[in-house]
Amino acid sequence: MPQEVILLKLGEIALKGLNRRKFEDALVQNIRRRMSAAGEFSVSSRQSTIYVEPKDDLCDMDLAEERCGKVFGVVGVARAGVCEKDLGKIQEKAGEYLEEALEEASTFKVECKRSDKKFPLKSPEISAQVGGYLLEKFPHLSVNVHAPDVTVRVEVREEHAYVHTDPKPGAGGIPVGTGGRAAILISGGLDSPVAAWMMAKRGVELTAVHFASPPYTSELAREKGKRLLQKVAQYAGRVKFITVNFTHLQEEIRDHCPEDLNTVILRRFMLRAADRVAKDENCSALITGESLGQVASQTIQAIACTDAVATLPVFRPLIGMDKSEIVKIAYQIDTYDISIEPYEDCCTIFTPKHPRTRPILHFVEDGERAIEGEALLEEALQTLETEWIYP
Ligand code: ATP
Ligand code: MG
Q: Which ligand is nearest to the CA of 269?
A: 1
CA 60 from chain centre, in angstroms, equals 22
C-alpha distances out from residue 316 to 289, 328, 332, 359, Å: 6, 18, 20, 20
Q: Which ligand is nearest to the CA of 217?
A: 1
- 242, β-bridge pairs: 209, 386
At 14 the pLDDT is: 66
Q: Which ligand is nearest to the CA of 189?
A: 1
At 302 the pLDDT is: 95
Atom of ligand 1 nearest to the CA of 246: 27
Atom of ligand 1 nearest to the CA of 291: 6
Cα-to-centroid distance, 105 and ligand 1 (Å): 48
Which residue from 136, 120, 194, 133 is spatially nearest to 163, judged by alpha carbons? 133
Q: Which ligand is nearest to the CA of 346?
A: 1
Question: Residue whose CA is closest, atom 30 of ligand 1?
Answer: 185
Cα-to-centroid distance, 352 and ligand 1 (Å): 16
Cα-to-centroid distance, 387 and ligand 1 (Å): 20
Asked if the bond preceding 215 is cis, omega within 30° of 0, the reply is yes
Question: Residue whose CA is closest, atom 25 of ligand 1?
Answer: 187
- Which is it for the CA torsion 372, 373, 375, 377, positive or negative? positive
- The three-state (H, E, C) secondary structure of the chain, written as one string: CCCEEEEEEECHHHHCHHHHHHHHHHHHHHHHHHHHHHCCEEEEEECCEEEEEECCCCCCHHHHHHHHCCCCCEEEEEEEEEECCCHHHHHHHHHHHCHHHHHHCCEEEEEEEECCCCCCCCHHHHHHHHHHHHHHHCCCCEECCCCCCEEEEEEECCCCEEEECCCEEEEECECCCCCCEEEEECCCCCHHHHHHHHHHHECCEEEEEEEECCCCCCHHHHHHHHHHHHHHHHHHCCEEEEEEECHHHHHHHHHHCCHHHHHHHHHHHHHHHHHHHHHHCCCCCEECCCCCCCCHHHCHHHHHHHHCCCCCCEECCCCCCCHHHHHHHHHHCCCHHHHCCCCCCCCCCCCCCCCCCCCCHHHHHHHHCCCCHHHHHHHHHCCCEEEEECC
Q: Residues 206, 196: contact at Cβ < 8 Å? A: yes
Q: What tens-digit pLDDT sequence spans the chain (391 residues)?
A: 899 999 999 987 766 777 888 899 999 999 999 999 999 999 999 988 999 999 999 999 999 999 999 999 999 999 999 999 999 999 999 999 999 999 999 999 999 999 999 999 999 999 999 999 999 999 999 999 999 999 999 999 999 999 999 999 999 999 999 999 999 999 999 999 999 999 999 999 999 999 999 999 999 999 999 999 999 999 999 999 999 999 999 999 999 999 999 999 999 999 999 999 999 999 999 999 999 988 878 999 999 999 999 999 999 999 999 999 999 999 999 999 999 998 877 777 888 888 899 999 999 999 999 999 999 999 999 999 999 999 9
At 47 the pLDDT is: 84
Q: Which of 198, 231, 347 to mutate to test the pocket of ligand 1 (most atoms within 8 A of CB)?
A: 347
At 296 the pLDDT is: 78
Question: Residue whose CA is closest, atom 9 of ligand 1?
Answer: 347
Distance (Å, rounded) from C-alpha 112 to C-alpha 129? Answer: 11
pTM of the model: 0.94
Cα-to-centroid distance, 370 and ligand 1 (Å): 25
Q: Ligand 1: which residues within 6 Å by Cβ?
A: 185-187, 189-192, 209-211, 288-290, 294-295, 297, 345-347
At 344 the pLDDT is: 79
Cα-to-centroid distance, 193 and ligand 2 (Å): 11
Distance (Å, rounded) from C-alpha 32 to C-alpha 175? Answer: 13
Distance (Å, rounded) from C-alpha 280 to C-alpha 271? Answer: 14
- Which is it for the CA torsion 295, 296, 302, 307, positive or negative? negative
Cα-to-centroid distance, 330 and ligand 1 (Å): 15
Cα-to-centroid distance, 129 and ligand 2 (Å): 59
Cα-to-centroid distance, 346 and ligand 2 (Å): 8
Distance (Å, rounded) from C-alpha 247 to C-alpha 327? Answer: 30
Atom of ligand 1 nearest to the CA of 193: 3
Q: Which ligand is nearest to the CA of 314?
A: 1
- Residue 205 dihedral angles phi and psi, to the nearest 5°: -85, 140
Distance (Å, rounded) from C-alpha 331 to C-alpha 45? Answer: 32
Q: Residues 319, 300: contact at Cβ < 8 Å? A: no
- 151, β-bridge pairs: 109
Distance (Å, rounded) from C-alpha 377 to C-alpha 6? Answer: 50
C-alpha distances out from residue 269 to 89, 117, 159, 273, 360, Å: 67, 63, 59, 6, 16
Atom of ligand 1 nearest to the CA of 188: 4
